[in-house]
Amino acid sequence: MKITITVSEHEFDRTAAWRIIAQMLEKPDAVIGLSTGQTTKEMHEIVSKIFSQYPFDVSRITLFNVDELTNLPREYSGSCYTMILNQLAAPLRIPAENFIMPPTMSDDFEAECKLFEKRLAERGGADLQMLGIGSNGHIGINQPGTPFESETWVSPMDPDFEARVRRETNVPPETVLGGLTRGIKNIMHTRKIILIAKGANKAEIIEKAVLGPVTTDIPASVLQLHPNCEVLLDAAAASRIKHKISYLK
């Protein structure tokens, strides 16, 4: 496991953005997995800005997100589809057929999980996964306790996150919300993973995930076993581990 620590949040965003661009340039038909949230918004904006200034061929690049909310309109501003579309897919003019996302509404999510993985497999599988980490160690929407052998499935939402989504969407209480997420097994089959975290609020969970035991109690800890995983952190997120390791920046 390679650990890269940047000196500032801005350097973190630029470094992460260039990791994405480097994969696109290295392999023009790369299949790239993304994550959404506050950690990734700025890095995506940097990718789009660089592309607008120095365009390069992305006609064969495939983008997808590691997860998606379920039983909500796709147009909801918090849906992963909408965020990735607005932040990256549209600015880079990624062809629609190369933006692979499961639907947010379906009568058969089990079938949608299988179709999602089938579409990625048909393109050779994921080359790169930019992977966020939750404050409880979740990756994708694989919450603590999820078996490492789990395959793409619909997971319950974190209660606090679900409460916020319900406030923003006015979804009735009887509607069951969840998240279609690549399983831990599927994530681990990605050729290269970059675990990304910034901010002091992630320092404790990063210490547990990177230096603690490999356990389903901290899903991200399984990445210690991945043969090609980089942990990319800003100084604040690395504050509890930087004195214990040798780092590059």
pLDDT tens-place string over residues 141-168: 999 999 999 999 999 988 888 998 999 9
Handedness of CA 112, 118, 120, 122 (dihedral sign): negative
Relative to beta strand 99-100, strand 62-65 is parallel
Confidence of residue 249 (pLDDT cuts 50, 70, 90): very low
Distance, CA of 117 to chain centre = 16
pTM of the model: 0.95
Residue 248 clears pLDDT 50, i.e. is over it: no
Name the residue ranges covered by the structural domains of the chain: 2-234
pLDDT tens-place string over residues 72-94: 999 999 999 999 999 999 999 99
CATH code at 2-234: 3.40.50.1360
CA angle 143, 149, 153 (to 5 degrees): 55
Q: What is the mean pLDDT of residues 23-39?
A: 97
